[in-house]
């Protein structure tokens, strides 16, 4: 499907969704290049599986011929296998990949967080433990630098902990025994549930927490499906697997309302 056709169909489909609390994304779809160029604060996220195709799309969103894309593996404890996998996923693409560790010393790192993170075109946060990720970022002041990056038009992204981190709050398996609430950086309003199809506890827990008011309404993503946000509005819903889905989840009349958002296949 061509982008113009997709946009037209999305407007029609979106108009019939009747989603409470969902930004009027259809009003912001445009084929006008000048509108696209005016976009600044961009986040591309997925429920899980932020692989080569998602990285490619994020790279395109930067508008650069060969963008610099930095990987922040804080949430997975800077797993060496994860870092190797990052470079493998970037290898087919025309990007300059890099990795920024947070377990550093003054002797091994002679640049500030701002020097590093504000000099790239895109930043991808890893999956892993969101609670630990947030604690480290705040202790190091990386949270404030990431907000500056977002404000300056550096494209942010990630899946799992790397998608959850950008929202006000969401569901996490970062604590022992059960899925609980975690607070994020609050760039995106509302809540988020990643791995909506891949982990049995995610869907019922998300429903229960939204119904009780413990969580705000928000967005739930299957693995291999995600959302491109401009500021706080849904600009595009995408997937890399045919049966992958994205939902907006809210409450109406004391009942959970789960509405599927039409997603476009990207390759």
The SS3 of residue 40 is: coil
**Catalytic residue list contains 195:** yes
Check: CB of residue 102 under 8 Å from CB of residue 96: no
Check: CB of residue 14 under 8 Å from CB of residue 27: no
CATH topology (fold) of 3-265: Rossmann fold (3.40.50)
- pLDDT tens-digit series, residues 58-102: 999 999 999 999 999 999 999 999 999 999 999 999 999 999 999
| CA atoms 6, 93, 79, 229: torsion sign | negative
Q: What is the mean pLDDT of residues 35-59?
A: 87
pTM comes to 0.85
What was the pLDDT predicted at 179? Answer: 81
Q: One of 192, 195, 207, 248 is an active-site residue; which one?
A: 195
What was the pLDDT predicted at 131? Answer: 93
- pLDDT tens-digit series, residues 137-169: 999 999 999 999 999 999 999 999 999 999 999
115: closest CA among 129, 126, 104?
Answer: 104
What was the pLDDT predicted at 258? Answer: 97
Q: What is the mean pLDDT of residues 244-266?
A: 97
pLDDT band at 52; cut points 50, 70, 90? very high
How do the domains of the chain map onto residue ranges? 3-265
- pLDDT tens-digit series, residues 178-234: 888 899 999 999 999 999 999 999 999 999 999 999 999 999 999 999 999 999 999
> Is 70 exceeded by the pLDDT of residue 16?
no
pLDDT band at 53; cut points 50, 70, 90? very high
What was the pLDDT predicted at 180? Answer: 82
Pick the more confident residue, 45 or 25.
45
The SS3 of residue 25 is: helix
What was the pLDDT predicted at 33? Answer: 38
Pick the more confident residue, 255 or 32.
255
pLDDT band at 255; cut points 50, 70, 90? very high
C-alpha to C-alpha distance for 196 and 71, rounded to whole angstroms: 24
C-alpha to C-alpha distance for 171 and 219, rounded to whole angstroms: 11
Q: One of 10, 160, 174, 250 is an active-site residue; which one?
A: 160
């Amino acid at each position: 499907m061509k982008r113009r056709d997709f946009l037209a169909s999305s407007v029609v489909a979106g108009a019939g969704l009747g989603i409470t609390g969902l930004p009027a994304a259809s009003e912001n779809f445009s084929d006008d290049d000048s509108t696209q160029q005016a976009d600044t604060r961009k986040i591309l996220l997925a429920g899980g599986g932020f692989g080569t195709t998602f990285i490619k799309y994020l790279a395109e969103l930067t508008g650069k011929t060969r963008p610099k894309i930095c990987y922040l593996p804080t949430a997975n404890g800077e797993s060496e296998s994860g870092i190797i996998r990052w470079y493998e996923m970037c290898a087919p693409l025309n990007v300059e990949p890099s990795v920024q560790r947070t377990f550093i010393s003054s002797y091994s790192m002679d640049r500030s967080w701002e020097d590093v993170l504000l000099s790239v075109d895109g930043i991808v946060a890893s999956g892993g433990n969101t609670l630990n990720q947030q604690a480290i970022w705040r202790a190091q002041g990386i949270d404030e630098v990431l907000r500056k990056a977002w404000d300056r038009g550096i494209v942010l992204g990630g899946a799992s902990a790397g998608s959850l981190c950008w929202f006000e709050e969401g569901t996490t398996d970062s604590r022992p025994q059960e899925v609980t609430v975690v607070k994020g950086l609050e760039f995106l309003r509302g809540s988020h549930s990643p791995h909506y199809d891949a982990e049995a506890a995610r869907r019922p827990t998300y429903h229960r927490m939204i119904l009780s008011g413990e969580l705000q309404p928000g967005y739930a993503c299957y693995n291999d499906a995600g959302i491109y946000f401009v500021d706080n509005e849904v600009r595009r819903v995408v997937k890399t697997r045919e049966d992958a889905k994205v939902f907006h989840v809210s409450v109406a009349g004391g009942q959970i309302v789960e509405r599927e958002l039409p997603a476009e296949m990207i390759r």
